Structure 1
Amino acid sequence: MTEPRILQGLREIAGDYDAILCDAWGVIHNGRELFPGVAEALTSFRRERGPVLVLTNAPRPSDVIPAQLDRLGLPRDAYDGVVTSGDATMHAAHSLGDKVFYRIGPAKDDGLFDAMNLKLGSFEEAEAIFCSGLEDDLTETPEDYRELLEKAAKRDLPMVVANPDIVVRFGDRMMFCAGALGELYEQMGGTQILGGKPHAPIYDLARDRLAKIAGDVPERILVIGDGLGTDILGANNQDLPVVFIAEGIFSEEVRGEDGKLSAAKLSQELKSQDVYAAYGMDTLAW
């Protein structure tokens, strides 16, 4: 397997593609600020090539994401729409039927629970769990939930996980996501149900959205992301070419002593995770 081609700008390959599925956290922003050059890159691709969809594992309905991107400074003309793990997970939760769910997740995810219209209840009466994240993702770790999850696993409660991400980089630190709880639950023998990246449901929704925007599903779709087990693996599963961005959670592993993205180190990291990226970039730029 050849080493990823290191790009200086998206313009080097833009002519080969008709649409983009672009991750948000770790590619567009770090939770606190927009990365330099991102707005120009996405706006230029939209103007010269085709639609851009923000494809994010955010455990929220897609209609709340544009306002968040507004606050970070990404202009609306940089993308055509948003598809979230929250969107994909709604289908997964309702497929379980009219069950009573025990909620695990922060108050900021109230919008997702309101939109889903789930029957919520206490842990004692729950028939399933819906997890959108840690209650306090700034201070808690998955170990804070071990006792609760052990009890749930003994009762064989299925757990719908709204965000498959294990961690994200929040500013200069790592923050645990719902996927970390799902991973721990699975290790205990529990069943987790996922709809976001790298799983197929979110890509099915993305293609449907692209078809509505472009009149048909574009043939040449490029994926951009930073997560090896989510963005890169998901693209591989869908047979879509992918650009790895080094600003995200694997920043330290893939950069050389000069601080720049190393093709050799990136190739080694990809191989260790059994995934492949055709391209790599330090940060998304045009």
Structure 2
Amino acid sequence: MQDLLTSVPILKHADALLERYDVLISDVWGVVHDGLWALEPACAVLTAFRERGGAVVLLSNAPGPSQHVASVLDAKRVPRGAWDRLVTSGDVTRSLIAESHHSRVYHIGWQSDRALFAGLDVELVDEAQADLVVATELNDYRNETPEQYRPLLSRFAEQGLPFICGNPDLVVHVGEDLLPCAGSLAMIYEELGGSVAWAGKPYRPAYELALAAAAELRGGRSVESSKVLVIGDAVRTDLAGARLMGFDSLFIAGGIHRDETMRGGEVDPVGLAKVLDGLPVQPVAAMAALA
């Protein structure tokens, strides 16, 4: 435990760290906004990084296509000057649906998420007609639990239907509330023996889209792994994805792990060590919030 306490610096300011990188791949929910409004210090950091010539790619497990999520960021007052490109789980989901060659989709999620299917050669159908399940959220994540979906998921698993998880997050903070995401449904589906395609972090397809966006911003020049920093608040997705790709990571302790890592508004070294304990690769630093 002591090694963890001394090996992961806890920073107040990110400026000196960010000077080492050309590209930032940043999580959105929990880093750039809190589910309700933009986190202004974080947006200022990203804006300054871009003004110095760096590229910022926002990589989100939001299930909507990037055009839709961009408008959501606008509504939350995230300035366009804080980012160059946006890649979402919705973008990856659309690719997976097209590659699946299935056309009758049973959708689990909000009605507004159905923009995801626009322009695809699919039909949204009821349970009896489906040959593919796509989950973007729970239908009502404030009033439902993932376990309530077990009977439905069990019937789909018995039929051997493929399942695309359009948001691999298990939970998300909305203000002070911790609410379930589609990843929690996908975990149940795998437990039932079903086959799941995960559309987003920490899986490689999402990062490959982000890298392609970064290369485009750099005039087609590829990006060295040592010059990419992943910023995120989730051990299971952000830190794991960075490790998979060979990128450095900056852990935002005040996000979804804040009940474990924060005390009195400050990062608690003991709590931080517990959350990071056992990781094969540690983040290069931790912060309460990007600032």
2-structure distance, mates of 1:8, 1:55: 24
Equivalent residue runs for 1:193-208 within 5 Å:
193-208=197-212
**Where do 5+ consecutive residues of structure 1 fail to align?**
none
**Residues 142-185 of structure 1: CA distance to partner in whole angstroms, max 9, x if unpaired?**
01211101111111111001000000000101111110100111
1:133 maps to: 137
2:287 maps to: 281
Runs of 4+ with deviation above 2 angstroms: 115-120, 262-265, 272-276
Native 8 Å contact 1:46 1:78 kept in 2: yes
1:239 maps to: 246
**Where do 5+ consecutive residues of structure 2 fail to align?**
none
1:226 maps to: 233
Q: TM-score, normalising length from structure 2?
A: 0.93
**Residues 18-43 of structure 1: CA distance to partner in whole angstroms, max 9, x if unpaired?**
01011000111111112241121111
Q: Secondary structure at the match of 2:250?
A: strand
Q: Percent identity?
A: 36
Q: Secondary structure at the match of 1:54?
A: strand
- Select the residue among 42, 66, 71 that pairs with 2:46: 42
Q: Secondary structure at the match of 1:109?
A: helix
Q: TM-score, normalising length from structure 1?
A: 0.94
2:222 maps to: 217
Q: For the structure 1 residues 55 and 127, does the alpha-carbon distance in structure 2 shift closer, same or farther, using more than 3 Å as the test?
A: same
Task: Establish whether residue 17 from structure 1 lines up as the match of residue 24 from structure 2.
Answer: no
1-structure distance, mates of 2:115, 2:205: 21
2-structure distance, mates of 1:243, 1:99: 40
- Which stretch shows the higher mean deviation, 182-191 or 109-118? 109-118
2-structure distance, mates of 1:273, 1:187: 24
Equivalent residue runs for 1:1-286 within 5 Å:
2=4, 3-215=7-219, 216-219=221-224, 220-256=227-263, 258-272=264-278, 276-285=282-291
- Which stretch shows the higher mean deviation, 56-65 or 259-268? 259-268
